[in-house]
Amino acid sequence: MTTASVVGGSGFTGGELLRLLAGHPEFEISQTTSREYANKTVGSVHPNLRGLDLRFVAPDGLEPVDVLFVCTPHGVTMEHIGEYRDLADTVVDLSADFRLPEAELYDTWYDGHVAPEHLADAEYALPELNRENLAGADLIASGGCNATSTILGLKPLVDAGILTPDDQVVVDVKVGSSEGGAGGGAASSHPERSGVVRPYAPTSHRHEAEIEAYLGLQVSFTVHAVDMVRGSAATCHVYPEEMPETKDLWGAYRETYDEEPFVRLVAGGSGVYRYPEPKAVAGSNYAEVGFERDARNDRIVAFSAIDNMMKGSAGQAVHAANVALGLTETAGLDFSGLHPVGSP
């Protein structure tokens, strides 16, 4: 068994990692840290994990381990990365601190970088994009959830040359409240967020930087908070120079994803769930992608839906760790979602 620890286990992402690691056939949880809840049981913060016999330890109590999953905030992980890399053979970071390939990007989009020398080692976690480089990687950076849903939705079009850097792409994202983390704030309080459709990152969203770095496309990106707890749904309005036929679109999506264990194509069909949507994947590591061809406007609408806590962060991190360590890729992640399910 491979030992794994989680830094910052009391937040939402940390809790989701603990859930996944507890049920993972190849990992054994060693420790989890929390400054605020040191010595308290994990179950006292994450009620779904009341059955886990584990207590948080203070951050300075972290011991050597095979794999270290880090859930400290942006700007904080980079301050401790040296320490983390000393303690663990493999570090998987869920912050944004090692996602972007170059330090200059951190100057533009964040508040600069204090450990840029590690950036060259860092591998972007999304296996559907970066599988070859993940094998054997010892520093892995999990992507932003909205960047993940967007990249998954657009990649087939880029791979097939249907979408090129010159084409117009508008990405309109709808995301759940868990994306804001456990801290909350006035805008996240139930009375203010129930039934909401609220633009909160109308322009210049940081996830644009990831999308550009990894897909090579500059996109127009707008994010809205909607009433769900888990989910990132991206609607990508694409204007290719030449409109492909529907069969070419199917071909492109199949080519990119047919072998992918966690991506499902959903486009049209019958019943209630005809296009990708978060409810269909909630609680699971699956992503649904699909498209609709709009001849009238020479537009392709590409849809993508994930659970932001899973494929958008914790699930992606564990999937990447499986690949990095040469384990069965789907280990600990191949369970299905729920139906019916509300706003999971």
**Distance (Å) of CA 133 to CA 124, 157, 323:** 9, 22, 10
296: left (phi over 0), alpha (psi -120 to 50) or beta: alpha
- Of 62 and 301, nearer to its own copies (C-beta) is 301
184 binds its own copies (CB under 8 A): yes
Least Å distance between CB 156 and its own copies?
17
Among 39, 135, 187, 254, binds its own copies (CB under 8 A): 187
Least Å distance between CB 63 and its own copies?
25
d(CA 97, CA 285): 23
- Of 290 and 324, nearer to its own copies (C-beta) is 290
| Footprint of its own copies on 19-78 (CB under 8 A) | 19, 22-23, 40, 44-52
Q: Which long-range contacts (CB under 8 A, 24 or more apart) does 42-45 make?
A: 42/9, 42/15, 42/18, 45/10, 45/15
d(CA 135, CA 90): 11
145 catalytic? Reply is yes
d(CA 33, CA 35): 7
Burial class, 83, CB count within 10 angstroms (exposed 0-12 / middle 13-18 / buried 19+) = middle
Least Å distance between CB 147 and its own copies?
16
Residues 20, 145, 147, 233: which is the catalytic one? 145
260 binds its own copies (CB under 8 A): no
d(CA 119, CA 113): 10
d(CA 8, CA 69): 9
- Of 247 and 296, nearer to its own copies (C-beta) is 296
Residue type, 205: H
266 binds its own copies (CB under 8 A): yes
| Footprint of its own copies on 268-327 (CB under 8 A) | 269-275, 277-284, 286, 288, 292-294, 296-297, 299, 301, 303, 305, 309
- Of 85 and 224, nearer to its own copies (C-beta) is 224
Contact mark string toward its own copies, 110..149, x via CB under 8 A? ----------------------------------------
Among 8, 144, 176, 315, binds its own copies (CB under 8 A): 176
Least Å distance between CB 89 and its own copies?
27
- Of 8 and 344, nearer to its own copies (C-beta) is 344
With a CB cutoff of 8 Å and minimum separation 6, the contacts of 132 are: none
CB 226 within 8 A of CB 176: yes
77: number of CA atoms within 13 Å, CB side? 27
Strands 299-306 and 65-70: unpaired
Taking contact as CB under 8 A, which single stretch among the options 25-33, 152-160, 180-188, 316-324 is the one that binds its own copies? 180-188
Among 35, 136, 241, 335, binds its own copies (CB under 8 A): 335
Known binding-site residues for NADP(+) equal 10-13, 308
Positions annotated as catalytic residues are 145
Known binding-site residues equal 10-13, 308
